[in-house]
C-alpha cells in the first residue's frame, strides 16, 4: 500500500465490524432511561457532572434533536457489564471521550491516559515502529520498563479524574516484571481499564493477576487464525504459543473467576489482503467475547514518510495522553520518539502538562490548519 493511496485514519471510527446484540442494546437503553429518571427526580442541576450525564442520556434516548453522542457497539458491551451504581460515572467519562475531541474541548484531564509498562517488545510486527531500529535498538535510549513507584505516582494523579486507562503503548506490557503489582495497584480505581498484549508471555501467574485485578477489557493482539500468516505479520511470534496461552487464560477465567465481568477481545490490524475477517471471527470467536479489526495506521517509520496533504485537526490531542515507561508524557504514539513531548511527570503534574503551553500550542496549530508545520503531524494520517 503506498502512502499516497492512504485515506485519513479516523480515530473515532477505527474499530471495524463489531455488532452488539439487539437484546444488549435494549438492556442498556433501559438502564439509561432509569438513570435519567433518577437524575430528574433528584433535580440534579447546577452540578456539572449531572448536567453532562443528563445531556448524554438525552442524546442516547433520542430526546435531543441533534444528538452528538451515541454508543458504539463495543461500548454497549462495556456498559452492559457495569454495575448500575457506576453508570452515571461511566457516562460522564464516555461522553467527554467521544464528544470533546469532536467539539475540540480540552478538559482539566484527558479523557483517556495510556500508560506504558514497557517500551520493549519481543515481537517485530510488520506494521509496527518496533521495526525501526533507531527506536528499538537497546542503545537508542528509548527502551525500558516502568518502575513500580513511578507507576503508583501516575495512578495517584489519575484516580478520580480519569476513567479510561490503557496499559499499553509502544511495547509489550507483559515484558515488565512489575506488571502484576501494577495491576494490583490500579484495581478498583477506574471504570475502563484496558490491557493490550500479544499473549506470548501470558503465563499462569500473569493470568491470575489480570483476572484478580478486575480490569474491564483484555485485548489479545492477533491478525490471523493460522500459520504461516500469523508469524508473517507478528514477526517472532508463534501462533501455537499464542493460542495455547489464550486458551489457558480462558480456562482459568471460567474455572476460577466465573463471575468475572471482563471483556476478552482479539484485535487484529487490517493490513493484508490475505487476512480473512470471517475466518478470524469464527476461529477466535469460539474462545473470546469479541473479535475486531482496527484499521492499519502507517506509523512505522513515520519520520521518514513523505508529508501528506491532510489539514483536518487530529482529534487525539483532545482525547488521549501517553505516559512512557520513564515518566515522559507524549501527545501520541505515532510520535514514538517523543519529539513533541511537553515534558515528564517529574517536571509537572499530568493535568498541567495536558493544559500547558506545549499541548495547547499543538491544538492551536491543528485548529488553524497548520499541522503541516509540525513533525511528525505533517506525515501522519490521524484525524
Ligand atoms: S503525529 Fe500529530 S497528527 Fe499524528 S497522532 Fe500524533 S498528534 Fe495526531
* Digit-coded pLDDT (tens) for 128-157: 999 999 999 999 999 999 999 999 999 999
pLDDT of residue 6: 46
Region 211-238 average pLDDT: 96
Q: How many whole angstroms separate alpha carbon 178 and alpha carbon 94?
A: 29
* pLDDT band, residue 5 (cuts 50/70/90): very low
Residues having CB closer than 6 A to ligand 1 are 314, 316-317, 331-332, 334-335, 371, 376-377, 380, 382
Region 239-249 average pLDDT: 97
Which residue's CA is minimally distant from atom 1 of ligand 1? 377
Long-range Cβ contacts of 203-206 (<8 Å, 24+ apart): 203/245, 204/248, 204/252, 205/180, 206/174, 206/179, 206/180
Distance from CA of residue 65 to its chain's centroid? 30
Q: How many whole angstroms separate alpha carbon 158 and alpha carbon 189?
A: 9
Residue whose grid cell is 487490517 = 270
Nearest of 35, 36, 58, 54 to residue 46 by alpha carbon = 54
pLDDT of residue 42: 86
**Residue 329 · residue 323 · CB < 8 Å:** yes
pLDDT at residue 350 above 50?
yes
pLDDT at residue 205 above 70?
yes
pLDDT at residue 164 above 60?
yes
Q: Cis peptide leading into 228, omega within 30 of 0?
A: yes
Q: What are phi and psi of 330, to 5 degrees?
A: -145, 150
Three-class DSSP category at 201: coil
The pTM score is: 0.93
Q: Which residues pair with 218 in a beta bridge?
A: 195, 264
Higher pLDDT, 297 or 238: 238
pLDDT of residue 2: 32
**Residue 6 · residue 24 · CB < 8 Å:** no
Q: What percent of the chain has pLDDT over 90?
A: 86
Question: How many A from CA of 362 to the centre of ligand 1?
Answer: 9
C-alpha cell at 51: 448536567
Instruction: Classify residue 277 by burial, with Cβ atoms within 10 Å: 0-12, 13-18, 19+.
Output: middle
178-192 pLDDT, tens digit per residue, is 999 999 999 999 999
pLDDT of residue 4: 34
pLDDT at residue 19 above 90?
no
Which residue's CA is minimally distant from atom 6 of ligand 1? 332
Question: How many A from CA of 323 to the centre of ligand 1?
Answer: 15
pLDDT at residue 297 above 90?
no
88-125 pLDDT, tens digit per residue, is 999 999 999 999 999 999 999 999 999 999 999 999 99
Three-class DSSP category at 131: helix
Amino acid at each position: 500500500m503506498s502512502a499516497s493511496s492512504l485515506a485519513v485514519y479516523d480515530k473515532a471510527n477505527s474499530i471495524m465490524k463489531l455488532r452488539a446484540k439487539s437484546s444488549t442494546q435494549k438492556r442498556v437503553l433501559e438502564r439509561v432511561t432509569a438513570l435519567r429518571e433518577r437524575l430528574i427526580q433528584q433535580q440534579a442541576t447546577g452540578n456539572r457532572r449531572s448536567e453532562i450525564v443528563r445531556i448524554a442520556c438525552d442524546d442516547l434516548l433520542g430526546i435531543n434533536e441533534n444528538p452528538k453522542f451515541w454508543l458504539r457497539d463495543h461500548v454497549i458491551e462495556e456498559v452492559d457489564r457495569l454495575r448500575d451504581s457506576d453508570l452515571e460515572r461511566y457516562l460522564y467519562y464516555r461522553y467527554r471521550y467521544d464528544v470533546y475531541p469532536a467539539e475540540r474541548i480540552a478538559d482539566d484531564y484527558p479523557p483517556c491516559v495510556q500508560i506504558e509498562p514497557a517500551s520493549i517488545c519481543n515481537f517485530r510486527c510488520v506494521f509496527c515502529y518496533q521495526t525501526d531500529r533507531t527506536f528499538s535498538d537497546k542503545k537508542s535510549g528509548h527502551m525500558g520498563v516502568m518502575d513500580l513507584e513511578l507507576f503508583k505516582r501516575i495512578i495517584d494523579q489519575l484516580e478520580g479524574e480519569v476513567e479510561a486507562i490503557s496499559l499499553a503503548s509502544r511495547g509489550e506490557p507483559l515484558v515488565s516484571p512489575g506488571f502484576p503489582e501494577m495491576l494490583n495497584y490500579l484495581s478498583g480505581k477506574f471504570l475502563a481499564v484496558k490491557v493490550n498484549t500479544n499473549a506470548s508471555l501470558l503465563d499462569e501467574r500473569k493470568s491470575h493477576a489480570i483476572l484478580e485485578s478486575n480490569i474491564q477489557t483484555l485485548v489479545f493482539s492477533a491478525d490471523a487464525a493460522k500459520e504461516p500468516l500469523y508469524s508473517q505479520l507478528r514477526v517472532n511470534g508463534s501462533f501455537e504459543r499464542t493460542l495455547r496461552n489464550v486458551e489457558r487464560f480462558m480456562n482459568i477465567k471460567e474455572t476460577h473467576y466465573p463471575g468475572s465481568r471482563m471483556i476478552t477481545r482479539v484485535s487484529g490490524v487490517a493490513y493484508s489482503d490475505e487476512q480473512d475477517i470471517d475466518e478470524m471471527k469464527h476461529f477466535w470467536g469460539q474462545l473470546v467475547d469479541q473479535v475486531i479489526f482496527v484499521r492499519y495506521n502507517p506509523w512505522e517509520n513515520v519520520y521518514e514518510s513523505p508529508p501528506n496533504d491532510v489539514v483536518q485537526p487530529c482529534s487525539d490531542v483532545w482525547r488521549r495522553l501517553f505516559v512512557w515507561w520513564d515518566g515522559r508524557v507524549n501527545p501520541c504514539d505515532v510520535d514514538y520518539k517523543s519529539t513533541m513531548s511537553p515534558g515528564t511527570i517529574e517536571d509537572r503534574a499530568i493535568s498541567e502538562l495536558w493544559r500547558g503551553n506545549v499541548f495547547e500550542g499543538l491544538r492551536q496549530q491543528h485548529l488553524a490548519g497548520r499541522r503541516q508545520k509540525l513533525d511528525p503531524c505533517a506525515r501522519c494520517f490521524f484525524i
